[in-house]
Amino acid sequence: MASDRLAVSLPESLRAEQQGPVTVLWLNRAHKRNALDDEMVAGIDAFFSHLPDSSAAVVICGEGEHFSAGLDLSELQERDLREGIAHSERWHRAFEKIQYGKVPVVAVLHGAVVGGGLELAAAAHVRVAERSAYFALPEGSRGIFVGGGGSVRLPRLIGAARMMDMMLTGRTYSAEEGLAMGLTTYLVEAGKGLAKGVELAQRIAGNTELTNFAIMHALPRIAEMAPGSGFAMEALIASIAQADPEAKGRLKDFLEKRAPKVTRS
């Protein structure tokens, strides 16, 4: 049944808010610097599994001074080997629902974006950083390893060499450096991140559903394919997208001078 409301209740450490077609998900545990505990990770999984039908894009952001301090380290002491694997797999499942979910996700980053917080950001499709943002992977110095998909996603964003450096030496990158290396694609002044994130999400929400699906689900997979398979897959997806009546209408609008031109942003 179609629903325009979030069909699950979230833990207090998460808060969702609808802004037109955009759903904003807040990490709402500022007193612990939005450290991600089991309940939050389960909540993220549930949120992305039960998005309202009215939601066409999501913005994820953090309350307080920091986006996220990563894994809640207080939970780590209790786990044995098997529980450790299951824990990591729960993060994988939750973040997979972000990356390969129903709608595109914009992450708005500020303050500490570290460890699992950076892994969470890496699962989003667009990243906006405020100038206060900084990026680190303190796992190396804590005697642990990334477990939220970081070793899969981050090398694809910044290269394995940079990730190794971050983990081995504790190197921290600034918001400006994050932009330069492609970790984020927008840099805004303090306090402007959410507005920028929502603006981008609204633009994304204005695309056809099929195009957004192709960009989220086909593009990253084509990018991983051998070129021959990639070209074939691209031709198929392009043809499917063009056949969408919504796409045909949009092309007609352009040809009949009703659609906006491409302008410098």
Q: Which two tokens stand for residue 90?
A: 């729960």
Three-point CA angle 106, 103, 263, nearest 5°: 60
Longest dimension (CA), the chain: 65
Interface residue with ligand 1HE, options 47, 58, 72, 94 (CB under 6 A) = 72
Q: How far apart are CA 221 and CA 223, in angstroms?
A: 5
The residues that bridge with 105 in the sheet, in sequence order, are 58
Burial of residue 27 (CB within 10 Å: 0-12, 13-18, 19+) is: buried
C-alpha 199/C-alpha 49 separation (Å) is: 24
Q: Is residue 69 close enough to count as binding ligand 1HE by CB under 6 A?
A: yes
Q: Which amino acid is it at 112?
A: A
Considering only residues 131 to 160 of the shown chain, the ones binding ligand 1HE according to CB under 6 A are 138-139, 142, 144, 146-148
Of 46 and 120, CB closest to ligand 1HE: 120
In whole angstroms, the minimum distance from the beta carbon of 138 to ligand 1HE comes to 4
Q: Is 45 in the site for ligand 1HE (CB under 6 A)?
A: no
Bridge partners for 187 per DSSP: 129
Minimum CB distance to ligand 1HE, residue 118 (Å): 8
Judged by CB under 6 A, which of 19, 74, 169, 229 binds ligand 1HE?
Answer: 74
Query: How many angstroms separate the CA atoms of 168 and 179, rounded?
Result: 22
Tell me whether residue 119 is one of the annotated catalytic residues.
yes
Nearer to ligand 1HE, 33 or 97 (CB): 33
- Residue 217 C-beta: closest distance to ligand 1HE, Å: 24
- Interface ranges with ligand 1HE (CB under 6 A): 32-33, 35, 65-66, 69-74, 91, 112, 114-116, 138-139, 142, 144, 146-148
Question: Any idea which residues carry the catalytic annotation?
Answer: 119, 139
